[in-house]
Structure 1
Amino acid sequence: MKKLVVLSGAGISAESGIKTFRDSGGLWEEHRVEDVATPAAWRRDPELVLKFYNERRKQAMDVEPNRAHRILAELEDYFDVTIITQNIDHLHERAGSRKVVHLHGELFKSRSSCNPKLVYDIEGWELKTGDFCAEGSQLRPHIVWFGEQVPMMTVATQITEEADIFVVIGTSLAVYPAAGLVYYVDKDVPIYLIDPVQPDINLSKNMTFIKEKATVGAVKLFDKLVKEV
């Protein structure tokens, strides 16, 4: 099977109703990013940070994977698919995708404040003050905050370098370091970009731009790729 690697961003989850920091009327307007998604915010007001991500979990539990998520899962019948996602929700997994790399962390996991190797699943939506790791420190959201390193980038880069087909869906390639993954795709590998707004990028003659939202573009992608198998 050919290796199909997908880089997904906020646009695919937005069609399921997940708000993003950059949406008009989205989280930027409800909270400043500096107040809820940085290490400094955690040190300054952990209660606010916990509340913020508790609300995100509740919202994520109320939405469903959309057609784009499901199509990417269906492509596993034809390709060896790995999803590299900038999203922290579990909509790819819920749609049936079996290999998902989360660059920016996972909403339904927590980790130790003192030992990043101690990671736990969150049952339900709430992470509270007084929820401790095995070493006795407060659990924090398992999220890569602004200003923190992205530990899964090395893994994602290796996967990208091995791709036979590379797909970008739901991201304008404006958020780094994730956007830089396209530069690790072999020059002979076809790249498909699905987004309503065409990014200012032209990497190779093998690049195909599908100017559609994720759910519509995924259908077109599926039809094209499956015909070529």
Structure 2
Amino acid sequence: MSTAGLDGARDLLDAASSIVVFTGAGMSAESGIPTFRDALTGMWENHDPMTLASPEGWANDPDLVWAWYADRATRVRSVTPNAGHLAVAELGRRPGVTVTVVTQNVDDLHERAGSVVTSHLHGSLFAPRCQDCGRAESPDVAVANPRPACPLCGSTLRPGVVWFGESLPSGDWLRAENAVGEADLMIVVGTTGVVYPAAELPERAAAAGVPVVEVNPDSSAVTALASVRLAGPAAQMLPDLLMDRRRGVDGR
């Protein structure tokens, strides 16, 4: 990315007071977390994604589906937040600015980096709940195997992710909508911009005249909406974005 691109993005950042950081799979890929389909290797390579990520698959074989998500949660716990996650957390600590993190990712790397995540649009690996009474369980339960029962009603726990055919969590979606409606800058990191309804959020920001900074090594559906595109990985571009252009140190 050219200095001009970084300078343009820094100008937008300096002028902003309410920022939405919207992240996708590319953000976590740099920590070694594969995308859903890329994770279908080894013992999982012969399974249809719909078998592992749909209400029908859960109804047919809940033990298999639970084991898949327990394996994914275990793998996530073996990696650490990357420099991009840490930069988002640092941005959130800057005085005079409100930063809202909205993510499509089901991992907890933003939280472990120090950010408060306002919306997990596609749920979280670490938010298991009872399928009947809705009781939320400890994140540690997400890595348990075999599949545990709800301690309140005795029914089965289910993974806390959004499956194909399910609606997004209404509270998370509403909080994301409200944040975008109040934003004066949106930073979109590592998403293709083709998964709806989440992809509506940068579209709404751009339609309202809110500047959009895209951070992505590859062009995406967001590129046409972006005021500035930082063509590189999040672990490089986000720390560079926060670097004070005059002093060569993190701006505060």
Q: Same fold (TM over 0.5)?
A: yes
Greater radius of gyration (CA): 2
SS in 2 for 1:192: strand
Cα RMSD after superposing both structures: 2.3
> So what's the TM-score if we normalise by structure 2?
0.81
* Equivalent residues of 1:164, 1:189 under 8 A apart: yes
What CA distance in whole angstroms lies between the structure 1 residues aligned with 2:238 and 2:62?
Answer: 39
SS in 2 for 1:166: strand
Quote the offset at 1:98 in angstroms: 2.2
Instruction: Flag the structure with higher strand content.
Output: 1
Quote the offset at 1:72 in angstroms: 0.3
Letter matched to residue 76 of structure 1 = G
* Equivalent residues of 2:215, 2:237 under 8 A apart: yes
Structure 1 segments of 4+ aligned residues over 4 angstroms from their partners: 224-229
**Which of 20, 24, 28 lines up with 1:13 in the alignment?**
28
> So what's the TM-score if we normalise by structure 1?
0.89
Aligned equivalent of 2:10: none
Aligned equivalent of 2:228: 208
Aligned equivalent of 2:190: 170
- Closer/same/farther in 2, CA of residues 144 and 133 from structure 1, 3 Å limit: farther
Aligned sequence identity (%): 38
Total equivalences in the alignment: 224
* Equivalent residues of 2:54, 2:165 under 8 A apart: yes
* Equivalent residues of 2:84, 2:235 under 8 A apart: yes
Quote the offset at 1:143 in angstroms: 0.9
* Equivalent residues of 1:194, 1:213 under 8 A apart: yes
Letter matched to residue 6 of structure 1 = V
What CA distance in whole angstroms lies between the structure 2 residues aligned with 1:130 and 1:67?
Answer: 35
Q: Counterparts of 1:66-215 in structure 2 under 5 Å? A: 66-78=82-94, 79-116=97-134, 118-123=135-140, 125-151=143-169, 152-185=172-205, 187-201=208-222, 202-203=224-225, 207-215=227-235
Which ranges of structure 2 fall in alignment gaps of 5 or more residues?
1-15
Letter matched to residue 138 of structure 2 = D
Quote the offset at 1:228 in angstroms: 9.3
What CA distance in whole angstroms lies between the structure 1 residues aligned with 2:191 and 2:35?
Answer: 12
